[in-house]
Amino acid sequence: MLRKTRHFLLIASLFVGYTSLSSITYADSLPSSLQQTIRSQSLPLDSMGIWIKRANDTQVLASHNSDKLFNPASTIKLATTLAALLELGPDYTWRTEIRTTAPIVNGVLRGDLIIRGTGDPGLVSEEHWRMLRDLQRTTGLKRIEGNVILDDSYFNLPAGDPGAFDGQPFRAYNQLPYALHVNSNALKFHIIPENSTNQIRVEVEPPLPGLRINNQLTRGSGSCDAWQRGIRYDVTGNQVTLSGSYPVQCGPYELLRSAVDPAYNAAELFRLHWAQWGGELTGQIRSHSGTPLTGERVMVHSSRPLGDLIKVANKWSHNVMTRHMALTLGAERLGAPATLEKARVALSNALANAGVNTSGLYIENGSGLSRTARITPNQLGQVLEAGWKSPYRPEFMSSMSISGVDGTTRRQYRNDPKAGRMHLKTGLLNQVSAISGYVRSRCDEDIMVVLMINHPEAHQGHGTRMQQLIVDWAYQQPRRDGSC
């Protein structure tokens, strides 16, 4: 996904501090056929790093700037998710605890209900709805005469601005971690032209009780490929205004955005789902940070396993989920509460234990939504090698986008022999383009591929073409003995 940036200085900072690892000697090796392919494009060779190698082989097929540090964009998610997978295991689950400060008597709680999250990255509306159903079913609770307290103390993070990266605070990819996230704080706005009423209907999912929708959309015509189909999106307090002339010939449209802060989102979803199950609440819904609250534990909700959730994180390049996985690893290895520094240390240690050279490597937040993250093609290649040798190889590989099938490469190689033969992770920021993963060649050999490009024009189509050329070259390789 292209991340637009608002400030030239922010863009320029991408090129500050690019260094190579002084302790490593460059050993570039680009076959002539690949050199010709690269030179036929508009990007300079010194702007890219390449590492290509057959699985289970010691010989590198191609390398260039392989020990130079690059901004990897979202391909760094492979390092984060592999570290979590190796250290926590594919069956790891997040626990959301529900506690009470008084006994439940005849379905009534004359005290507070505490919901303590640990950063479940996959908690969506349906699971939250079922969690409250299970609470009523297992405890008989129907009426809360105290308060509901959302305890987010498991994450100890500095205050942040979701718009700090690129000035887009309501984009879903920019949302910050929160220990009680539901739907990663995202809302889906359904834009529905109605011919019978000559109106444009707007529905929001989930329908937060306290969120107001100011629908100022008018019927119009225009390009279906226009940015947001001409919809202007504005937020003031707890009100979302949608305005503009909508091209009705394009049919329905979905807009994924954030509108409120995470604590408000979690509180309003509790109101919605608790009422849907016939529950009553006479008190308030409050947030709590700091020291974890105590009380009698009455229920624990477990998330889907890590092995399932990394599929969402990698296939669809989900920033919030991956950031939660990094924080969780830090808390599990270095103790709660989770902090950014613990996450970075735990990630580095886990990768080093897996055989990755971590010298110079820097993972800012685990997601790749960063101007300071750095890794070399060789190091990212070592991540692929560690994943290949791991007993969790099937889980790791299946978490990546499958060419022509799903995820971020679903539109590539459709109706092509290469469809389904590549497990890939893409990365795209302003001035950064990257791809990494496993290619099953035409000769049925598995080849590991890393490409990172840092250049002012990397995100403007040139980088995507280079990605395709690199993986195509890997696909065409004969076996080591020259057969096929």
Q: What is the pLDDT of residues 370-401, one digit of tens each?
A: 999 999 999 999 999 999 999 999 999 999 99
Domain presence at residue 8: no
Per-residue pLDDT band at 29 (split at 50, 70, 90): confident
Please tell me the distance from the alpha carbon of residue 395 to that of residue 122, in angstroms, as a whole number.
17
Cα separations (Å) of 196 from 192, 201, 244, 248? 12, 11, 20, 13
Predicted confidence at residue 26, as pLDDT, reads 36
What whole-number distance in Å separates Cα of residue 399 and Cα of residue 381?
17
pTM recorded for the entire structure: 0.92
Looking at the structure, tell me whether residues 296 and 195 fall in a common domain: no
Same domain, yes or no, for 53 and 192?
no
Task: Give me the number of domains the chain comprises.
Answer: 3
Backbone angles phi, psi at 244, to 5 degrees: 120, 170
User: Are 262 and 287 within 8 A, CB to CB?
Assistant: no
Residues 220 and 350 in one domain: no
Residues 457 and 379 both lie in one domain: yes
Residue 11 burial class via C-beta count within 10 angstroms: exposed 0-12, middle 13-18, buried 19 and up? middle
- Judgement on whether residues 280 and 416 belong to the same structural domain of the protein: no
DSSP H or E stretch at residue 151: strand 148-151
* CATH number for 287: 3.50.80.20
> Residue 399 to residues 156, 301, 309, 312, 468: CA-CA distances in angstroms?
29, 24, 8, 7, 20
- Are both 322 and 467 inside the same structural domain? yes
Residues 137, 70 within the same domain: no
Q: What are phi and psi of 294, to 5 degrees?
A: -105, 170
Q: Say what the pLDDT of residue 25 is.
A: 36
Residue 204 shares a structural domain with residue 248: yes
Closest CA to 132 of 113, 119, 145, 147: 113
- Does some domain include residue 234? yes
Q: Is the pLDDT at 12 greater than 80, yes or no?
A: no
Give me 421's structure tokens: 């033969």
Which residue among 239, 271, 302 closes a domain? Answer: 302
Instruction: Provide the CATH number for the domain around residue 86.
Output: 3.40.710.10
CB neighbourhood size of 385 (10 A) = 17
Is residue 79 in a domain?
A: yes
Query: Is the domain of 267 the same as that of 126?
Result: yes
- Can you give the residue range of the structural domain that contains 317? 32-91+306-476
CB 232 within 8 A of CB 239: no
- Enter the DSSP assignment of 177: P
Residue 387 covered by a domain: yes
Are 310 and 325 contained in the same domain? yes
